[in-house]
Amino acid sequence: MAVDVLEPVSSAAVTAPAPTETVVLPKTSESDTLLRIRHSMSHVMAMAVQKLFPKAQVTIGPWTESGFYYDFDSPDPFTEADLKAIRKEMIKIINRKLPLERVEVSRAEAEAKIKAQNEPYKLEILSGIQEPITLYTLGEEWWDLCAGPHVANTSELNAKAFELESVAGAYWRGDENNAQLQRIYGTAWETPEQLAEHKRRKEEALRRDHRRIGTDLDLFSIEDEAGAGLVFWHPRGARMRLLIEDFWRQAHFEGGYELLYTPHVADISLWKTSGHLDFYSESMFGPMVVDEREYQLKPMNCPFHVLTYASTLRSYRELPIRWAELGTVYRYERPGVMHGLMRVRGFTQDDAHVFCLPEQISDEILRILDLTERILSTFDFKNYEINLSTRPEKSIGDDAVWDLATKGLIEALERKGWDYKVDEGGGAFYGPKIDLKIEDAIGRMWQCSTIQLDFNLPERFKLDYVAADSSKQRPIMIHRAIFGSLERFFGIMTENYAGDFPFWLAPEQIRLLPVTDEVQSYAESLCDQLKAAGVRASVDRSGERLGKLIRTGEKMKIPVLAVIGAKEAEQASASLRSRRDGDLGLVGADALIEAARQANQNRSSGLSL
């Protein structure tokens, strides 16, 4: 299944979140003013760099959704001290109130100017530019090839509303075989208040970083000795993953799906038939030879589901067929793009495929949207953005089938009552698609779910069914993932909760804290009763003082700490401290066990006592 884990273009919100911040931070793509500010600020930064480091050569310097960057080829690495010096120089340039002017030149003029400056990267950029060729000057001292737009004068840039944030490595043209450059990231806003809010959100994102939380709570690790991008699930994280998988399976059975298990490898001929070897080989690991046959690790699950469909003759009466699989796939990700659980080389997709009749498309898409909402809302993701991508210029399939499929997607979205944005021509070559992004607790949007119609694989594998008139027809194939991948969703979910997982999902739900050795046996007995009721409970046997026991439990973000002293043991109870609700007082053992059991059954955030 061709699921891209990168975020799509901005799309329309299903439910507009209530504003929680007094300072609004628009994206660059949403504000022409910010676009001009950030584009201009990147030029100011490049001018400052070349003024301080004359041997540095410039390459590209675009805006991003929250700032800008510029890539430089410099003989010396930039340091944090250099960033401070560059920022000071930028302020000087801004305060000089220099004009930014657009100049149209011929290719020969541009080439002569570039050669005079000895800027080889600009020459390569020039070769890919179609006329008219434009450059922007910054005063009379600096210029670069650029299409704009920019502010008219540096006086329009607020010297108190920008920051240089970091330096990172980057390959020229994003190709690891090319020269390694230095990328300076910056951010720029209209007001100092916006900059302050941006910094606050960055600090909050750092606090929520799933890599740090994963280490602190002992959930997972990536071991260099085994290889980059390969995830090791520790017992606590594995317990959570099992809970997620069990819920996913239950929801799919209730949604009319059957489960599949398919191999991790297949003969290389399968990937030739599917087209992956032609169009996706750069993202596939190399083949292995066994018994004089070449086998390939699977980068996707869909060809396996296709083979399962083709294993027997199908009738129209069987359709729709809904199959789901938690299928682990392997893709070669370049070293520079791997990031915690967000982008790895081995991951498990919550893959599903629906084979249906053309007239069933709308109903099946609606069922998928309903299931998507049910699953995501269980993890407290309730605000979505939807993007509908239509037929691109280069595509396969009959016009009538494309029209029917696209209308089916639109009809399903309208029946669901979800707003969406149409990305004309943004679909895959094999069919239209719906992408869904979720909003986390600090307003970031993440693409997870995708629904893609496919006219390609049924044709490549000659799939068919016997129609009512006894003719053989091609089924419509729908690819679908809700989490996208378990690893990436786990990372997003961890950052959304900041490690404070809801009660039903926490790896350790209740920790019993015996105050003295005399109550240890009662604590052990209560723990056994909780476990028998399906509660993930433990007893702290460290023998530390109560204050230390509580601090340790809070550091591990245990949802409920149960203090047990002589009074609690005598009354068959526990004094509860909840991360969500604070002190809950003295609660009887039977009431605690029942409340915990109900919370698990209802997938609740906390105990109801």
In the set 182, 194, 349, 360, the catalytic residue is: 349
User: Known catalytic residue: 479?
Assistant: yes
State yes or no: is 351 an active-site residue.
yes
Rg of the chain, C-alpha, whole Å: 29
List, in order, residues 6 or more apart from 532 with CB less than 8 Å away. Answer: none
Q: Is residue 343 a contact partner of residue 210, using CB atoms and an 8 Å limit?
A: no
The CB-based long-range contact list for 292-297 (8 Å cut-off, 24+ gap) reads 293/267, 294/267, 294/268, 295/265, 295/266, 295/267, 295/268, 296/265, 296/266, 296/267, 296/268, 296/270, 296/271, 297/264, 297/265, 297/329, 297/330
Distance in angstroms (rounded) separating the CA atoms of residues 445 and 443: 7
DSSP H or E segment with residue 187: strand 180-188
Quickly list DSSP for 533-548.
TT--EEE--S---HHH
Spatial separation of the C-alpha atoms in residues 189 and 25, rounded to whole Å: 9
Task: Using DSSP, state whether 352 is helix, strand or coil.
Answer: strand
Report residue 370: phi and psi, to 5°.
-65, -45
CB contact at 8 A, 448 and 472: no
The 3-state secondary structure of 471-534, one letter per residue: CEECCEEEEEECCCCHHHHHHHHHHHHCCCCCCCCCCCCEEEEECCHHHHHHHHHHHHHHHHCC
Catalytic residue among 314, 322, 343, 433: 433
Whole-angstrom distance, CA of residue 540 vs CA of residue 550: 10
The residue annotated as part of the active site, out of 38, 122, 183, 331, is 331
User: Which of 302, 356, 448, 527 is flagged as catalytic?
Assistant: 302
Q: What angle do CA 72, 77, 81 make, to 5 degrees?
A: 105
**Pairing label, strands 346-356, 476-481:** antiparallel
Question: What beta strand segments (E) does 366-417 contain?
Answer: 384-389
Catalytic residue among 39, 43, 345, 353: 353
Q: Are strands 142-145 and 346-356 parallel, antiparallel or unpaired?
A: unpaired
Q: Which of the residues 43, 437, 479, 480 is marked catalytic?
A: 479
Q: Is 246 a catalytic residue?
A: no
The interaxial angle of helices 361-378 and 235-254, nearest 10 deg, is 150
Q: Which of 71, 351, 423, 440 is catalytic?
A: 351
What are the residue numbers of the active site? 302, 331, 349, 351, 353, 433, 479
